[in-house]
Amino acid sequence: MSYSPHPSLLLLSLVFSSSVLAAKAPSQARASKAAKPVATAPAPVPVVELAHNLGEAGEAHLQAVVERFNREQGAALKLVRLEKDAKPALLNLVRRYDLDEVLSNPRQFVPLHAMMSKAGVALKDGELSADLKAGVVDAKGKLVALPVAYSTPVLFYNKNALRKAGLDPERPPQTWFEMQGMLDKLQEIGFQCPYTSSWPVWVHIDNVSSVSGVPATTDKGQLAFNGLPQVKHVAMMATWQKAGYFRTFGRRAEASEHFREGECAMITTDSREHTEFRDARGVELGVAPLPYHDDVYGGRRNTLADGASLWAGSGRSPAEYKVAAKFVSFLLSPEMQVEMIRQYGQLPLTAAARSAAGSKVLQDDGTQSLRIAFDSLQGGGARSPMRVANIDAVRVIANEELEAVWADRKPAKAALDTAVARGNAVLNAKPALKKLQPF
């Protein structure tokens, strides 16, 4: 006997089954939809700024570096002008003569080592040459900025001029006294500018003092460049000026153009300028250490290293600091160090870069000045972090007093005494200017 369900029960069963199926359908559809990955837009690349106040040629070189970084790292670093009193950009390339602006507003900057740490990018500062850390380390020896383009004063000379004067072009002067005799012979053959100098305070105050073993500043942040060695040197330059051996053209690098044009036979200036003298008119370039005074007790000492450094602005986002940290690592890479040595003449920052600078590939570019420069530092480039040339107001005073001596308006002793007294009055009124460790 067969069993047939009641029609009402059959209807109820169909309704229930339909409800269950209807309930499952949207649930399964949602599950299927959720299983598909949802495409998300890539995070935007932050546009970050690198501020500078370089000249036209320097800006073109820096732009090439930035473009290479953007291309290789997929970044959006942008060059802007470094404006006085403006809020710092994320990255700021600051030359030595603009450093006191940084020191007067330390809260607007973040230490380099702290920025790199927060960005999670290793800063191998132990690989950096100790000669080049002057003024960019804190009390614990940690980097607060990157010494990007450092150099030290050397003597450049025109070998062709020495030949015409009957002098050996491979034997440049070692002492200032020896140099005087050579300048006399150069004048005899018609040179109206046997010798000139760019950056007179940097060369003739800071570095002549250092080479003589009598630093221009004390450990307590006071000026002291009016000692006997400095007075004798400035007095000698005054006699050279009267004799026509020494000509000055300005307070910065104005003299360099006169050497490039073949007008001057010798010049003391930054070692990095060998890249700008490569095509000097009628000049076969020679390079030698900055001369010294052999009558100073203790013999020749070291020159000083200084130049442009890279500082990080405060108050930026983690993403922006990540880009800045990558740029720092990019600059320290072996490839970029070699390129910057070749193109800009800077002293190599790392041991690997220094080794490359001694290789044939760089020697072919005439970078003998790099070896001369490092030999001149003698491991002492990081000493005496406070430099007369780095403090605007003090440098202006020193220039004024030097010019008074060379124009025969003041004796050397009186001028240097006045410069020291005036400069110390400025420093004592603004104690923050006495130190180069703002953090």
pTM of the model: 0.85
* DSSP, res 201: H
CA distance 353 to 351: 5
The pLDDT tens digits of the residues spanning 229-251 come to 999 999 999 999 999 999 999 99
Q: Average model confidence (pLDDT) for the chain?
A: 85
- Give Dmax over CA atoms of the chain in angstroms: 143
**Structure confidence at residue 297 (pLDDT):** 85
The pLDDT tens digits of the residues spanning 348-364 come to 888 788 777 666 556 55
Rank 62-66, 126-130, 136-140 by mean pLDDT and report only the highest.
62-66
Residue 1 clears pLDDT 50, i.e. is over it: no
pLDDT bucket at 5, cuts 50 / 70 / 90: very low
User: Are 175 and 143 a contacting pair, CB within 8 Å?
Assistant: no
The radius of gyration computed from the CA coordinates of the chain, to the nearest angstrom, equals 32
Q: Which residues of 37-108 form beta strands (DSSP E)?
A: 47-52, 76-81, 91-94
**Structure confidence at residue 37 (pLDDT):** 56
**Structure confidence at residue 374 (pLDDT):** 85
Q: How far is CA 122 from CA 34, 228, 332, in A?
A: 40, 47, 11
Interval 92-96 mean pLDDT: 87
pLDDT bucket at 152, cuts 50 / 70 / 90: very high
Q: What is the dihedral of CA 304, 266, 347, 207, to 10 degrees?
A: 0
CB atoms within 10 A of CB 166: 9
CA distance 322 to 344: 26
The pLDDT tens digits of the residues spanning 7-63 come to 443 333 433 344 434 444 444 444 444 455 555 656 677 899 999 988 787 888 899
Residue 324 clears pLDDT 90, i.e. is over it: yes
> Among residues 33, 292, 10, 317, which one has the least CA distance to residue 155?
292
Lowest mean pLDDT, pick from 36-40, 343-347, 351-355, 384-388: 36-40
Residue 258 clears pLDDT 90, i.e. is over it: yes
User: Are 420 and 223 a contacting pair, CB within 8 Å?
Assistant: yes
CA distance 356 to 346: 13
pLDDT bucket at 141, cuts 50 / 70 / 90: confident
User: Are 288 and 172 a contacting pair, CB within 8 Å?
Assistant: yes
Q: Which residues of 279-433 form beta strands (DSSP E)?
A: 285-289, 306-313
CA distance 304 to 381: 4
CA distance 107 to 119: 19
The pLDDT tens digits of the residues spanning 174-214 come to 999 999 999 999 999 999 999 999 999 999 999 999 999 99
The pLDDT tens digits of the residues spanning 269-281 come to 999 998 889 888 8
The token pair at 67 is: 């473009």
User: Are 192 and 305 a contacting pair, CB within 8 Å?
Assistant: no
pLDDT bucket at 83, cuts 50 / 70 / 90: confident
**Structure confidence at residue 363 (pLDDT):** 59
Q: How far is CA 36 from CA 29, 31, 32, in A?
A: 11, 9, 7
| Geometric angle at alpha carbon 353, from 285 and 276, rounded to 5° | 30
